[in-house]
Structure 1
Amino acid sequence: MPIGIIINSFSIILGGILGGFLGHLLSEDFKKQITLIFGVCSMAMGIPSISQMANMPAVILAIILGTSLGLIFHFNEKINFAAALMQRPIAKFPQQELTLSHEEFMSTLVTIIVLFCASGTGIFGSLTEGMTGDHTILIAKSILDFFTAAIFACNIGYVVAVIAIPQFIVFFCLFLIAAVIFPLTTPSMILDFKACGGFLMLATGFRMIKVKMFPTADMIPAMLLVMPISWIWTTWIVPLLG
């Protein structure tokens, strides 16, 4: 039973609904300033994961190759298209007047889709729960996700709650295949995987505080490449260098 995944998804639904309902009560300055704080929190969550990486060259290579694939196959455009589809049914319901332009709205929506669906903590937590039944990682993540969803819903409306659907699908699929993936991993592969997720969290934080709009959606394929590259590095490359 994926208890942690269910709790995590419900935390986003509740946070999204609460933020969408109460957003008009908060000043624009408050919403802007608190978004900066969540950006810093995202960066702070990513840095410890990065610092624990076992094989820096492997992680860097995975990020470069993965992002290149994302850019070549226009992964960001596909995420944008999915985000637009998510917004359509929500737009039919009455909601607060948004002050963001369409470009800012879509950019923010894509940022939080990546934040909720592709974070290293969420993916690792789903794999851990599927393999060991330990759901504490995802429950801890749910607390932050609730407040994050609420604040973002204050800015872009109820559509934030809908992100719980693709997040649940992604995490539940990882939960199901965890029994196959985990026995094939090593401790160094897990650390490199979490480090790769940390880079995504760091890039997402920079997007949230609008310092630099990193192509976070295009970076997602790196999460698929980092474990195989880490294994190749430790199994073949390191012995050659030694």
Structure 2
Amino acid sequence: MIDFWAKTSGTWINVFTVAVGTTLGLTLKNRLTQKMQLIITQGIGLITVWIGLSMANTMSQVKAGNLEGVILGLLAMVIGGIIGEWLEIEERLTALGNYLKKRFRGQGLFTEGFVASSLLFCVGPMTLIGSLNNGLTGDNTLLTIKATMDGIVSIALANIYGIGVGCSILVLLIYQGGLSLAASAIATNLTNPESNPYILIATGVGGLIIVGIGFNLLEITKIRVASFLPAIVISSLIYYLASIF
């Protein structure tokens, strides 16, 4: 029987890399000019958009009956977004960030950093498939790769947003660690997770949310990305319903 550590080892490694990256980012915070911080933000934003678009493309590999993956994704985003607004997820996550800001006396863009990094670190194919592998077999390879990427990104984000990035560790620990533990109970019912349509459609919808984060970083517009989080779960449900009718 796989013990607790083996099931969640990838998450603990991820928590460590984000903590180290945040510390380095804070150390460098006063040594970078405003122009340098801006160009870092824009660089992260562009890469984030590219990653999101690459993830979103997985929807093209999904088809349920006569419905293409893009239609399933559209339905998931609309329905999930409505549910997210009804649950006031954006406001609740922002309120949590503001509470932590007050609790730890954070300054400046604390809440923005907390929300953006929480979503960026928790939404993605590596989180889903990596947590699945970690929870089922104890293999943390994918999550270790993701942890390395998150650690590098957190350096730049902490330099821009401050300690709010480090507080996203709480969300990372609960969400990703919870997925790993839950995966041990449900993963045995899934075959070939890398090509499983439920994983692919959820990954595609998650990619669209990542694109929204990129747009926010680039200040192209203000997208209420947190409100779309229910769409990730809704996407798999919509695929199931479409495939049986």
TM-score bin, normalised by smaller chain: 0.7 to 0.9
Distance in structure 1 (CA, Å) of the matches to 2:71 and 2:133:
25
Q: What is the letter of the counterpart of residue 95 of structure 2?
A: F
Residue 215 of structure 1 is matched in structure 2 by 224
CA distance in 2, matches of 1:14, 1:4: 16
User: In the alignment, which of 53, 58, 63 is matched to residue 72 of structure 2?
Assistant: 58
Q: 1:177 aligns with which of 176, 182, 189?
A: 182
Task: Say whether residues 1:76 and 2:76 are aligned partners.
Answer: no
Normalising by structure 2, report the TM-score: 0.85
Matches of 1:127 and 1:196, distance apart in 2? 18
- The structure 2 residue matched to 1:111, chosen from 95, 107, 116, is 116
The residue identity in structure 2 corresponding to 1:13 is A
Moved more, 188-197 or 129-138: 129-138
Q: Where do residues 1-242 of structure 1 align in structure 2 (5 Å cutoff)? A: 1=6, 2-53=8-59, 54=62, 55-91=69-105, 100=108, 105-185=110-190, 187-236=196-245
- How far apart are the structure 1 equivalents of 2:125 and 2:89? 18
CA contact (8 A) 2:24 2:155 kept: yes
What is aligned with 1:95? none
Unaligned regions of 5+ residues in structure 2, if any? 1-5, 63-68
Check the 8 A contact 1:90/1:159 in 2, yes or no.
Answer: no
Which is further off, 162-171 or 131-140? 131-140
Q: 1:86 to 1:122 in 2, by over 3 A?
A: farther
Q: Tell me, in whole angstroms, the C-alpha distance in 2 between the residues paired with 1:117 and 1:83.
A: 16
Give the conservation status (yes or no) of the 8 Å contact 1:4–1:136. Answer: yes
Aligned residues: 227
Q: What amino acid sits opposite 2:201 in the alignment? A: D
- TM (normalized to structure 1)? 0.86
Separation of aligned partners in 2, 1:13 and 1:35: 19
Cα offset for 1:125? 1.9
Deviation at 1:185, TM superposition (A): 4.4
Summarize the Cα distance change of 1:209–1:20 in structure 2 as closer, same or farther, 3 Å threshold.
Answer: same
Percentage of matched positions with identical amino acids: 24
**TM-aligned CA distance change 1:17 to 1:89, over 3 Å:** farther
Amino acid at match of 1:163: S
Deviation of 1:120 (Å): 4.1
What SS does structure 2 have at the residue aligned with 1:124? helix
Deviations for 1:132-170, whole angstroms, at most 9, x for unmatched residues?
A: 333222111122211221111112222311211221111
- Measured after TM superposition, the shift of residue 226 of structure 1 is 1.3
1:214-239 deviations in whole A, cap 9, x for unaligned?
11010111112111111111222xxx
Indicate conservation of the 8 Å contact 2:58/2:200, yes or no: yes
Quote how far apart the aligned CAs of 1:123 are: 3.2
- Structure 2 distance, partners of 1:128, 1:211, is 36
Cα RMSD between the aligned structures? 1.9
Choose 104-113 or 160-169, whichever is displaced more. 104-113
Q: Secondary structure of the equivalent of 2:222?
A: coil
Name stretches of at least 5 consecutive residues in structure 1 with no aligned partner: 93-97, 237-242
